Amino acid sequence: MIDNAGIHKGALIDKKRRQWAKHGLYLHYLPPCSPELNRIEILWKHAKHFWRRIVATNGADLLDKIQSLMSGFGSKFTINFE
């Protein structure tokens, strides 16, 4: 399943979807508002609300906080997708 981002739509992706379908691969779009089905949305929800409050004063600080969070994902920070 893929979300409805602009990069997932248009002539180029339609052409690729037809090619992939010939090989048995079918992509299905998520409903327009379905954050509970999109794992990246679940990840960011946990990152923002449960693991850390990300407040940065500048871009370098923000990047450092996000890199720290992502390096701990799977060990220090986990999500149960069941």
Q: Quote the number of domains for the chain.
A: 2
Q: Is residue 43 located within the same domain as residue 69?
A: yes
User: Do both 45 and 29 map to the same domain?
Assistant: no
Residues 21 and 48 in one domain: no
Same domain, 42 and 82: yes
21 with 49, same domain? no
**Residue span of the structural domain in which 52 resides:** 38-82
One domain for residues 11 and 50: no
| Nearest of 17, 42, 40 to residue 29 by alpha carbon | 17
The DSSP bridge partners found for residue 73 are 77
Residues 42 and 30 occupy one common structural domain: no
- The pLDDT tens digits for 55-82 are 667 888 888 877 887 787 777 777 676 6
* pTM of the predicted protein model: 0.37
Are 54 and 21 in a shared domain? no
**SS3 of residue 29 by DSSP:** strand
Q: pLDDT digits over 16-56, tens only? A: 889 999 999 988 877 777 666 667 777 777 777 666 666 66
Helix segments in the chain, DSSP class H = 11-22, 39-46, 59-72
